[in-house]
Structure 1
Amino acid sequence: MTIDNQLDQFISSFISYHQQNKGGLTIPYDSSWPSTCYQATGREGEAVPWLPQKRDTTATFGNVEEALGITLNKAYCQFFSRYFSDNLPAVAPQGNCELLQVWNSDDFTRLQQNLIGHLLMKQRLRQAPTLFFALTDEDDFILSLLNDTGEVVLEQVGKPPKEVIAASLGDFLALLTPR
């Protein structure tokens, strides 16, 4: 199954879970942070319904690749190019995590800037390039992809990956349940 299909499947189960168990998805409204995800407008800070939205156009990481002289893992690029969404809390066999997502085009730019900083740090430390995509419940541990192999790894920020969690991002997404 492709990354797009795995992500579509997870998001569909995420939406169903929240509709059945939590009455839907809501987020504080922020007029200065617009998104197609808002399903309604409201007063500043008021909880409004939202849903992940497939992007109309495919975003690219070409500027990151050109700036750093690196080709980014295709699955990683697809993961962040498919939807606009708030972050997605999930449960993996190893524990809770939160899949990072981008809320709007400005957020995608911010993600790219953070990724450049992360990759430059990895270069400076002479470590293999990793591509972060999720947070864990442990403060300075993140889930990343090894750029060269596509394996999902647990890594402490600034250190080499601690362990391989899944053979691919698609395999990892298949293991998740929404929370």
Structure 2
Amino acid sequence: MEKETALALTAFTERYCDAWQKSYGTWPQSEALYGVPSPCILSSTESLVTWRPQPFSPSQNVNAIERALEIVIQPALNAFYTTQFAGDMPARFSGESLTLLQTWSADDFLRVQENLIGHLVTQKRLKLSPTLFIATLESEIEVISLCNLSGEVVKERLGTKQRSVLASSLTDFLNRLEPVL
């Protein structure tokens, strides 16, 4: 499952970067990531950073999450967060606009793990089944997550049991994503 997820993420990232090249003649650019160190940075202007995805270099995985909460994480999530360093990428899934989250650097990877642990602790406290976020939505109270029990990708309302299945797997979800510039 990890290999399929990594391939699907890489394929989506290529579609995203190709769309930037076709529309703007450049690699993706971001104002939000300006001034934040990353191996992805190709160049910077006064307010923009131009980036290109890079292979994930640390020999890290999401084991810190597993150790902190004494659970086993879906292998697809490990592949999702450790395949590459890249900027977050706007996308669309079945008409739903979202921002696919990525790790920008080794430091960012540690921050993401801390946020995932906090998310899981809150769910445990509320007696909700465990999910791990992979994308944000316009609404701050909803996210796209990987269900740690089933491996399905779900849209969930934070702090509630409200969830709807979007895809049977993370690979399927990534393969159906459309880049948005």
Q: What secondary structure, in the 3-state scheme, does the structure 2 residue paired with 1:40 have?
A: strand
1:147: how far off? 0.1
Match of 1:131 in 2: 132
Q: What secondary structure, in the 3-state scheme, does the structure 1 residue paired with 2:160 have?
A: coil
Does the Cα contact within 8 Å between 2:58 and 2:106 map onto a contact in 1?
Answer: no
1:121: how far off? 0.5
Deviations 1:33-56 (A, max 9, x none): 2111101255xx432321111113
Go from structure 1 to structure 2 and tell me whether the alpha carbon gap of 1:58 and 1:161 turns closer, same or farther (over 3 Å shift). farther
Match of 2:8 in 1: 6
Does the Cα contact within 8 Å between 1:39 and 1:51 map onto a contact in 2?
Answer: yes
Match of 1:160 in 2: 161
Distance in 1 between residues matched to 2:96 and 2:84, nearest whole Å: 24
Distance in 1 between residues matched to 2:161 and 2:24, nearest whole Å: 38
Match of 2:21 in 1: 19
Q: What secondary structure, in the 3-state scheme, does the structure 1 residue paired with 2:139 have?
A: coil
Structure 1 ranges of 4+ moved more than 6 A: none
Q: What secondary structure, in the 3-state scheme, does the structure 2 residue paired with 1:39 have?
A: strand
Does the Cα contact within 8 Å between 1:58 and 1:82 map onto a contact in 2?
Answer: no
Matched length: 175
Match of 1:148 in 2: 149
1:58: how far off? 4.0
1:160: how far off? 1.7
The aligned amino acid for 2:125 is: R
Distance in 2 between residues matched to 1:111 and 1:10, nearest whole Å: 21
Distance in 1 between residues matched to 2:22 and 2:145, nearest whole Å: 31
Distance in 2 between residues matched to 1:3 and 1:96, nearest whole Å: 21
**Following superposition of structure 1 onto structure 2, how do residues 99-118 of structure 1 map, counting pairs within 5 Å?**
99-118=100-119
Does the Cα contact within 8 Å between 1:150 and 1:169 map onto a contact in 2?
Answer: yes
Deviations 1:97-132 (A, max 9, x none): 111011111111110111111000010011100010
Does structure 1 residue 36 correspond to structure 2 residue 39? yes
Match of 2:87 in 1: 86
Does the Cα contact within 8 Å between 1:153 and 1:161 map onto a contact in 2?
Answer: no
Deviations 1:5-60 (A, max 9, x none): 10111011110001101332223431xx2111101255xx4323211111134421
Please, what TM-score do these two structures have when normalized by structure 2? 0.91
Give unmatched runs, 5+ long, in structure 1: none
Give unmatched runs, 5+ long, in structure 2: none
Distance in 2 between residues matched to 1:54 and 1:103, nearest whole Å: 11
